[in-house]
């Protein structure tokens, strides 16, 4: 700012000096000099106030990260192009808006541990460097999950081999990133909708204690990392009861669990606010932090009228199921805005119990909900539109900050 002012001073006064020389002997020298002087002052004032207000808008970029920094971390899921900062708009927006990131895919087993003795750490290492560069906390996702497993182990018959992969995987990956990532989703989606254990290769080959064992191994490998259980629909009473039982079992075994992640893939027109509130209260009563880890509010119809975010669920495309391909009508935009507003009111009410709110993606164009559970739809679930512009829902959320 001062540099800019100095520059303009020099231009104006330099101009004046030149005129001074030419007019040195003129009778009207003093009159004109005064005129120039006054003009100079006026120009400087305009520039000064102009620059000051421009600077004000720059330094006052409205940011989720800043607005909620006293209460909880605000995160987003990021993809490879974003980690590598190849996506220019995202490269600017992410560090400005978010204080936490979750890798959308690159720390899943099929990517990071594709063969018995092969680990691909390159992208996860880049992610760690990215977090350091922008002072962004990393929630690593995820150690043990039935989906996105490497091909060679997906159909493993032998229980000992599964156990070996399970143990090696947790030990190797969790210890490498201990102290480098802030937290781990140690186990993802181990429950069915009725609260029983999900039928997966881990349940089948290792038995129902595999969740406790995963946390025990993670605790040994990553003593400096927060350890979480993560799932969708665990705000629903039956599944919530299953999750509470699972967490109590881990605690009863003397194993550390620091938090629970409620994914939060809800529909904008059907948010289970009461269940969410009860869940925050009940989970935090177990002495752990509550996180909302994959928040997005879909606006499209669901083929099964369900909130289950099971990645294996798939349905056929039809134009009827893609009603907003040419833009979101105001009525739905309003619902989305109200949905986010209601949710953040609730989050703020329980800010002492909540550690982080993470959106599943940066902008609408990058959301997995454009391709799940039906490929090729146009969804609008996040706070930034396809051009990275904040949506009315963003403004509504920011306004709630006290
Ligand atoms: C999704 C990713 O967003 C997609 O890119 C990928 O194809 C499938 O997985 N619950 C989870 C996330 O825990 O890991 C899933 O992410 C979405 C549902």
Write down the pLDDT at residue 14.
35
Write down the pLDDT at residue 34.
52
**How is residue 220 written in tokens?**
């040994």
Q: How far apart are CA 166 and CA 231, in angstroms?
A: 19
With helix as H, strand as E and coil as C, how does 281-349 read? HHHHCCCCEEEEEEEEEECCCCCCCCCCCCCCCCCCCCHHHCCCCCCCCHHHHHHHHHHHHHHHHHHHH
Q: For residue 236, which phi and psi values (nearest 5 degrees)?
A: -75, 135
Write down the pLDDT at residue 67.
98
Q: How far apart are CA 47 and CA 50, in angstroms?
A: 5
Q: Is 105 in the pocket of ligand 1 (CB under 6 A)?
A: yes
Averaged in consecutive runs of 10 residues, what is the pLDDT profile of the chain (402 residues)?
39 36 38 49 48 48 96 98 97 98 98 97 98 98 98 94 98 98 99 98 98 99 98 98 99 99 97 98 98 98 93 96 98 98 98 98 98 98 98 98 80
Write down the pLDDT at residue 164.
97
Judged by DSSP in three states, 76 sits in strand
Q: Is 79 in the pocket of ligand 1 (CB under 6 A)?
A: no
**381 closest CA partner among 321, 339, 353, 320:** 339
Write down the pLDDT at residue 60.
67
Write down the pLDDT at residue 194.
98
Write down the pLDDT at residue 29.
40
Write down the pLDDT at residue 61.
85
pTM for the whole structure: 0.86
* Given the residues 104, 213, 235, 294, the one annotated as active site: 294
Q: Is 189 considered catalytic here?
A: yes
């Amino acid at each position: 700012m001062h540099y800019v002012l100095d520059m303009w001073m020099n231009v104006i006064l330099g101009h004046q000096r030149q005129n001074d020389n030419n007019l040195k002997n003129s009778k009207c020298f003093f009159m004109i000099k005064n005129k120039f002087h006054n003009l100079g002052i006026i120009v400087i004032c305009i520039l000064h106030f102009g620059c000051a207000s421009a600077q004000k808008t720059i330094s006052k970029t409205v940011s989720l990260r800043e607005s909620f920094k006293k209460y909880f971390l605000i995160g987003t899921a990021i993809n490879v192009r974003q980690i590598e900062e190849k996506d220019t708009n995202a490269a600017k927006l992410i560090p400005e808006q978010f204080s936490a990131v979750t890798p959308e895919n690159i720390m899943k087993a099929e990517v990071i541990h594709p063969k018995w003795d092969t680990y691909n750490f390159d992208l996860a290492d880049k992610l760690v460097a990215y977090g350091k560069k922008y002072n962004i906390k990393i929630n690593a996702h995820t150690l043990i999950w039935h989906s996105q497993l490497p091909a060679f182990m997906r159909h493993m018959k032998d229980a000992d081999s599964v156990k070996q992969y399970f143990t090696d995987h947790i030990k190797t990956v969790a210890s490498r990133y201990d102290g480098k990532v802030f937290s781990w989703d140690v186990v993802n989606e181990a429950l069915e909708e009725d609260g029983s254990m999900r039928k997966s290769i881990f349940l089948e080959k290792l038995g129902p204690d595999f969740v406790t064992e995963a946390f025990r191994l993670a605790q040994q490998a990553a003593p400096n990392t927060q350890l979480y259980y993560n799932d969708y629909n665990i705000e629903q009473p039956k599944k919530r009861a299953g999750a509470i039982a699972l967490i109590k079992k881990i605690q009863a075994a003397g194993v550390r669990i620091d938090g629970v992640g409620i994914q939060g893939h809800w529909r904008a027109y059907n948010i289970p606010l009461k269940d969410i509130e009860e869940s925050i209260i009940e989970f935090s009563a177990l002495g752990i932090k509550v996180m909302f880890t994959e928040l997005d509010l879909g606006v499209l119809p669901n083929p099964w009228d369900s909130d289950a975010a099971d990645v294996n669920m798939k349905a056929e495309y039809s134009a009827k199921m893609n009603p907003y391909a040419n833009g979101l009508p105001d009525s739905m935009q309003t619902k989305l805005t109200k949905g986010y507003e209601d949710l953040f009111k609730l989050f703020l009410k329980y800010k002492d119990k909540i550690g982080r709110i993470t959106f599943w993606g940066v902008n609408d164009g990058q959301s997995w909900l454009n391709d799940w559970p039906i490929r090729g739809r146009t969804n609008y679930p996040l706070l930034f539109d396809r051009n990275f512009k904040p949506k009315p829902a963003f403004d509504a959320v920011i306004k709630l900050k006290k």
